[in-house]
Amino acid sequence: MDDPATRENEGVGAASGRPDAPSLKRRASAGALWVLMGHGAGQVLRLGSNLVLTRLLFPEAFGLMALVQIFLQAMQMFSEVGIRASIVQHARGGDRVFLDTAWTVQILRGGVLWVVCLLGAYPFALFYDEHTLASLIPVAGLAALIAGFNSTRLAVADRKIRLERVTLIEIGSQAAAIAVMITWAAISPSVWALVAGGVVRPALKMAASHLLLPGGRDRIGWDRDSFRELFRFGRWIFLATLLTFVLQQGDKMIVGKLIDPGLLGVYAIAVLWARMAVDVGLKIGAKVMFPALAEVANKRRENLRSRFFRARVAFLAVLLPVTWGLAVFGDVLIEWLYDDRYAAAGWMVRLLAPGFAGAVISGLSGNVQLAVGDSFRQMIVQVTRGALLIAGITVGWRLGSLPGLLVGVSASKILDYPVVAWGLRKHGVWLPMLDLGAFAATAAVVALGWFLRTPAVPW
């Protein structure tokens, strides 16, 4: 029989209590560098492959894949219980018994998700009147089943902010998946090329997480106390991530019902570019700031506000100019990179970018709330964001068709700020003057840019 102490030592040990462990500042700095390099390389691969694939495939293929992704992400988020976040934030995140329980829950979740894909594919295809979806979704859903077997060493690496190997695994699996997609599309140009890449990538990542990361071997195990702690922290994350699905895919879900797959594919390209800065922020927030702020909150709570301020200043200084540039010159970028079939993505990017600037300004708020264990307020923020997004889409479509819908989507990402401020103020980390300056600068840049270069929107 395994001895609990032995099993814990076999795992990861203390996350940061060793005398020879690098300082939090050094680990956070190194982690941020690896995240930026990894995300930069990932974006180059992603956008480069997108440019190649848009020349090999028709817009309809991207529209169909966007609908597949809506279904898969819905299943993922409707069952999210915060396993990774619990390992990163919880004091027992390095305990082997806790990790084995988390891994078992993760495997069960992956299996359930794939069964849901099998059962839900046909009704989903009927709803969108796209019968191809009935065969695409079960195959694409294998990604969820495979990801359920990911090693907990991935989350432990995030907890310790040791991201070198994790980053290399993500880049390598992405590159291999892209090679599969391009090869498939060149030989047989169809949406199945995109589906194949979506299955290859998680399979390689799962295998590498067990073979290439240090730490104890994951085992099937069940500990009632560990499960209760996972559930206690994850119950509000479940609701928050369910609403995150509405925020990330709700627009595509509704737009996909209102327009044809070809135009939906163009819209998906526009969103890919407009949310570029937000994607960088989410990556840094999840991989670096969340574990770093959690460590500060657990050990030196009095330093939390100052650490959060410094992180926010750097965050805004790097990411806001990206959204400003897209708001003013997004159409030039699309015209330069894509052929005439995707030209409409240009004005779409310019309408969406100001809203994503608002999302950047509110960035890291969820990370600091989870770092202090307040998943409830994060859930309230997500409820508000979801309601605003649905309202923006509904009102925007009625008043201005597709352009109005995009304005509504953009506005919803700015109007959520009062609730974000409420959640931050509770923990003494609201930074009103910094945020006011960021909003004022964004308004000035976008107004001047649109005055000089008015977007060619087909109102």
Residue 278: pLDDT band by 50, 70, 90 thresholds?
Answer: confident
User: Looking at the predicted structure, is the pLDDT value of residue 5 above 50?
Assistant: no
- Specify the pLDDT at position 163: 85
DSSP string, 168-181: HHHHHHHHHHHHHH
Residue 2: pLDDT band by 50, 70, 90 thresholds?
Answer: very low
Q: Is 217 exposed, middle or buried (0-12, 13-18, 19+ CB in 10 A)?
A: exposed
Q: Could you report the per-residue pLDDT of 331-382, keeping only the tens digit for each?
A: 999 999 888 888 999 999 999 999 999 999 998 888 888 788 777 887 888 8
Quick one: average pLDDT of 12-16? Answer: 39
Q: Tell me which of 383 and 240 has the higher pLDDT.
A: 383
| pTM to 2 decimal places | 0.66
Q: Could you report the per-residue pLDDT of 178-233, keeping only the tens digit for each?
A: 999 999 999 999 999 999 999 999 999 999 999 999 988 999 988 888 888 777 76
- Specify the pLDDT at position 368: 85
- Specify the pLDDT at position 86: 79
Closest CA to 198 of 173, 218, 217: 173
- Specify the pLDDT at position 242: 63
Q: Where on the phi/psi map is residue 399: left (φ > 0), alpha (ψ -120 to 50), or beta?
A: alpha
- Specify the pLDDT at position 4: 38
User: Looking at the predicted structure, is the pLDDT value of residue 17 above 60?
Assistant: no
Identify the weakest region by mean pLDDT among 294-308, 341-355, 399-413.
294-308
Q: Residue for token digits 């699905």? A: 245
* The two three-digit tokens of residue 66, written as one number: 């966007």
Closest CA to 93 of 16, 205, 26: 16
Which of the listed ranges 41-45, 91-95, 237-241, 433-437 does the model predict with the highest average pLDDT? 433-437
d(CA 175, CA 179): 6
* Maximum separation of any 2 CA atoms in the chain, in Å: 73
Residue 434: pLDDT band by 50, 70, 90 thresholds?
Answer: very high
* The two three-digit tokens of residue 405, written as one number: 């819908």
Closest CA to 352 of 262, 270, 417: 270
- Specify the pLDDT at position 317: 93
Quick one: average pLDDT of 123-151? Answer: 93
- Specify the pLDDT at position 240: 62
How confident is the prediction for the chain on average, in pLDDT? 85
Quick one: average pLDDT of 128-148? Answer: 93
User: Looking at the predicted structure, is the pLDDT value of residue 399 above 60?
Assistant: yes
